[in-house]
Amino acid sequence: MSIRIMLVDARPDRREVLGPALSAEGFDVVACVDPEEGLLSAVVRFAPDVVLIDIDSPSRDTLENLRTVQAHQPRPMVMFTQDDANESIRRAIEAGVSAYIVDGIERRRVRPIVEAAMARFSQFQALEKELLETRGKLAERKLIERAKGIIMKQQGLSEDAAFQAMRRLAMRKNKRLAEIAESVISASELFAP
């Protein structure tokens, strides 16, 4: 299966040369766009696998457009540039660029760079998903602990007995334990002095 590339380049003459060159390397170039023109809508419209940016030096607006794309339609992004300044590299990575390559595009190097960027992006997405799940579980655990404390205090139960009471109620109501914990907390706040 061919990798779908959206080429982002401010110079139309370079886009006209680079698009066919990428196609000759086996990429499916689905769009060639200017970095200052609606990148998010272009990503939504063309659904590329990778966004490939060829730019002399990324402007603040270009980086902000890339950041918007990553926030709403995350994609691996490969930037080929002439700008080797540390600050530019840092800002590009913060905007979501997966690979930052200085000294332009060489046809024979594009495929391994794109594939490496796609692999790193997938790895990053998996880590981000795991982090969100872990944060969610921790937040639920905190709710359960708080609700357990409320039950222990109000009913005079041990920690284990309070937990078992919440667990039985969750099973009886066919709800998650965290939902029962939220209800306990809400009810205690309602009747708080």
- Within 8 A by CB and 6+ apart from 107, the residues are 21, 24, 25
The DSSP call for residue 176 is: -
DSSP conformation letters of 23-82: HHTT-EEEEEE-TTS-HHHHHHHH--SEEEEE-SS--HHHHHHHHHHHHHS---EEEEES
Contact 111, 118 (CB under 8 A): no
Question: Can you give the pTM of this predicted structure?
Answer: 0.72
Which pair of structure tokens corresponds to residue 94? 């913060």
- Residue 123, domain member (yes or no): no
Q: Are 103 and 54 in contact (CB under 8 A)?
A: no
Same domain, 29 and 94: yes
Question: What residues of the chain score a pLDDT lower than 50?
Answer: none
In a shared domain, residues 45 and 136: no
At 24 the pLDDT is 82
What is the CATH number for 174?
Answer: 1.10.10.10
- The CATH number that applies at residue 38 is 3.40.50.2300
Number of domains in the chain: 2
In Å, how far are 5, 58, 114, 151 from 105, measured between CA atoms?
14, 15, 11, 64
Enclosing domain of residue 92: 3-105
Longest dimension (CA), the chain: 78
Whether residue 167 is contained in a domain is answered as: yes
pLDDT (0 to 100) of residue 103: 79
Q: Are residues 10 and 93 in the same domain?
A: yes
For the segment 68-118, what is each residue's pLDDT rounded down to a tens digit? 999 999 999 999 888 888 899 999 999 999 989 887 677 777 888 888 888
